[in-house]
Amino acid sequence: MDPSIPRGAAILLGFVYETETGRKPPQCYDVIYGHRQSALSKPLTTMTVGEVVDEQAVWSSKAWAAKFGSTKASSAAGAPQFIRATLIDLAKELRLRGTQIFDGNLQDRLAYHLLKRRGYESFMAGQMSREEFGKRLAMEWASLPVLASTRGATRMIGRGQSYYAGDGLNKALVDPAEFEKVLTAAKSAGNGTQTPGTPKPAPSGKAGILAAILAALAAAGAWLANIPCNLFGIFCGG
């Protein structure tokens, strides 16, 4: 998981990845819909964003699905199973370069952006209920269940069903109680870094004294730099 992703989000994304793909990192990052990635010309994580978008148009076709004896096709790609329209939208919004490599870290950052779109920050701040946030995530990832009866994409659905139940393609792949536990764990984990650094011991003896003097000089320099110039009768031009 990209180290810039907060602990709570990393817990959620790890759960989403395994639910969506049936794989854990690093294998999950190379998965495409139907686990048909072996038919690609090269691994997904070595492709550029532009190449992925182009290839998605191919493997989401009925002709591609027919090669595998199936009528079901989707452009879902990577650990977060981005569909083509979502990936294009993210690329435009975040101004991605078509030459950027679609590796695990990039997928993590894009998936985190989807979490935030769906209300992650409000949920973590206690401003959105677990039920509502769960529903919003189920709208993003079809394998996740809604946590209470609601209107889905095509019909009324009950607790435990995919938001897209009835579309002939998607269904929930995890128990709602398990999903609730993960949401609770993510909120408890907070937004700190995934691997907090270990504080370095303070130097002792002469080295410690020298370090303290240097730190004091640096602090004094920063203080002087922030004093308005005209305090000393000095004019600071632009």
DSSP codes, 4-44: TS-HHHHHHHHHHHHHHHS--TTGGGG-BGGG-GGGSSS-G
Picking from 86, 117, 148, the residue at the C-terminal end of a domain is 117
Cβ–Cβ under 8 Å, residues 25 and 15 = no
Identify whether residues 52 and 161 lie together within a single domain: no
- Domain hosting 188: range is 129-193
pTM: 0.81
Per-residue pLDDT for 235 more than 50? no
Query: 68 in a domain, yes or no?
Result: yes
Give the closest residue to 76 by CA, choosing from 65, 67, 87.
87
Counting the structural domains of the chain, the total is: 2
Query: 67 in a domain, yes or no?
Result: yes
Q: What is the mean pLDDT of residues 77-105?
A: 98
pLDDT bin (cut points 50, 70, 90) of residue 96 is very high
Axis-axis angle for helices 7-21, 176-189 (nearest 10): 150
Per-residue pLDDT for 238 more than 90? no
Cβ–Cβ under 8 Å, residues 7 and 192 = yes
